[in-house]
Amino acid sequence: MKIPRIVKIAKRKLVGLQIETSISENKTLALWQKFKPQVKSITNKKTTDFYSIQMYNHDFDIQQFSPTTRFEKWAAIEVENFKNIPDGLEKFTLSTGKYAVFIHKGTPKEFHKTAAYIYGIWLPSSTYQLDNRPHFEIMSENYNPNDPNAEEEVWIPVKEKNQ
pLDDT by residue (tens digit) across 35-61? 999 999 999 999 999 999 999 887 777
What integer pLDDT is reported at residue 162 of this predicted model?
Answer: 77
pLDDT digits (tens, 9 = 90+) for 56-85: 887 777 777 778 888 999 999 999 999 989
45: left (phi over 0), alpha (psi -120 to 50) or beta: beta
How would you class 20 by CB atoms within 10 Å of its CB: exposed for 0-12, middle for 13-18, buried for 19 or more?
Answer: exposed
Enumerate residues 6+ apart whose C-beta is below 8 A from 64. none
List Cβ neighbours of 101 (8 Å cut-off, separation of 6 or more).
Answer: 4, 5, 6, 7, 153, 154, 155, 156
Q: How far apart are CA 68 and CA 21, in angstroms?
A: 9
The pLDDT score that the predictor gives to residue 23 is: 83
Closest among 140, 59, 63, 137 to 100, alpha carbons compared: 137
H or E element in which residue 34 lies: helix 28-35
Q: Return the pLDDT at 148.
A: 92
Q: Domains (ranges, CATH) in the chain?
A: 5-160 (3.20.80.10)
Q: What is the pLDDT of residues 8-45, one digit of tens each?
A: 999 999 999 999 988 888 888 899 999 999 999 999 99
At residue 136 the predicted structure's pLDDT band, cuts being 50, 70 and 90, is very high
Query: Could you read off the pLDDT of 137-157 as tens digits, one per residue?
Result: 999 989 988 899 999 999 999
Q: Give residue 7's pLDDT band: very low, low, confident or very high (50, 70, 90).
A: very high
- Specify the pTM: 0.91
- Mean pLDDT check: name the lowest of 34-43, 83-92, 109-118, 133-142: 109-118
Q: Please, which pLDDT band fits residue 163 given cuts at 50, 70 and 90?
A: low
In whole angstroms, what is the distance from residue 49 CA to residue 61 CA?
Answer: 29
The CA-CA-CA angle for residues 23, 24, 26, to 5°, reads 60
